[in-house]
Amino acid sequence: MDILLFNPLSRNGKNPKFIKKIVTHLETFGNHVETYSLLEIHDVDRFVNQLNHDDRIIIVGGDGTINRLVNAINHKEIKQKIYMYQAGTGNDFVRSLKTKEKLVLISPFLEHLPTITYNQKKRLFLNGVGGGLDGYIAYLVNHSHFKKNKINYFRHSFEGFAKFKPVAAKITIDGKSFHEDKLWLASIMNGCYFGGGMKIAPQADRNEENLHLIIVKNIPKWLLILIFPTIYFGWHIHFKKFVDCYIGQKISFEMDQPVYLQIDGENEYPISSIETEAFSKK
């Protein structure tokens, strides 16, 4: 049996016709399908334990939906295989897996996720977290009356450029610290993509036991606007005067003022400091 989980707060989850279309597609393979809203599952253990071991759990939604799921599971032993149903342009998590399959097995990639600690909270994340400009742009996108997609992320990026002012920050990587006086963004990545296909950390590989930090600093606003589109191709890292790339297992930052934080595209505010740690299999 297929257990279809959807987020009714997401754009596709709000559309019953869209969910019905997926159910119909799965039923063409002779599968019985049951649908559940993620918001109605209050006890994950109880819900999973009532399923058969050979049932398939299929998620419909974006990065935020999967993020909520993995934090609800939080290293609990789930015997059923978990899949992601690709719809539309997909999301940054599935995009990093480089597959064109409609139904993507994601269970192996949910077992060893990094953590972020902020405001006395600790959460798992899939793709990455960021403070500064990327957090502010994510806030604008999430509160926009336009649909959340690549075009509107690009549109709100320019709004972010106009309104955001660089901040000072102390950054620590595996115990070694340094300061930046005019920091535009600090993105700590487990995968290579954010913002609907922007290749912010081209060398990041979620199969490795480390995190990639990308910082943009000391750059004139007019030049940032010019090089911003190159992030889609990962070419921004060649502007070494303004873009630095680091690798580490424990990465943290402390801003001199509260900023917007994005975690897999979802927002938190106000945030002045965070700590992240890659999952170690040792």
Write a three-state SS string for 17-61: HHHHHHHHHHHCCCCCEEEEEHHHCCCHHHHHHCCCCCCEEEEEC
Q: Which of 39-48, 120-129, 190-199 has the lowest mean pLDDT?
A: 39-48
**Class of the 116-277 domain?**
mainly beta
Residues in the chain: 282
Encode pLDDT of 43-64 as tens digits.
877 888 889 889 999 998 888 8
Provide the residue ranges of all domains of the chain, joining segments of one domain with +. Answer: 2-111, 116-277
Query: For the chain, what percent of residues have pLDDT higher than 70?
Result: 93
pLDDT at 12: 61
What stretches of 119-223 adopt beta strand conformation (E)? 121-124, 128-132, 167-173, 176-189, 211-217
Tokens 């690009």 found at? 154
- Segment 87-104 mean pLDDT: 80
Amino acid sitting at position 65: T
- Segment 108-133 mean pLDDT: 93
Instruction: Kindly tell me if the per-residue pLDDT of 220 is higher than 60.
Output: yes
48 CA to centre of own chain? 24
Q: Same CATH fold, 116-277 and 2-111?
A: no
Encode pLDDT of 16-36 as tens digits.
788 888 899 889 888 899 998
Checking DSSP bridges between strand 81-85 and strand 250-263, what pairing results, if any? unpaired
Confidence of residue 13 (pLDDT cuts 50, 70, 90): low
Checking DSSP bridges between strand 128-132 and strand 266-277, what pairing results, if any? unpaired
Instruction: Kindly tell me if the per-residue pLDDT of 181 is higher than 80.
Output: yes
Is 91:215 a contact under the CB 8 Å cutoff?
no
Instruction: Kindly tell me if the per-residue pLDDT of 88 is higher than 60.
Output: no
- Segment 190-204 mean pLDDT: 92
Question: Regarding the domain delimited by 2-111, which CATH topology (the fold level of the hierarchy) does it fall under?
Answer: Rossmann fold (3.40.50)
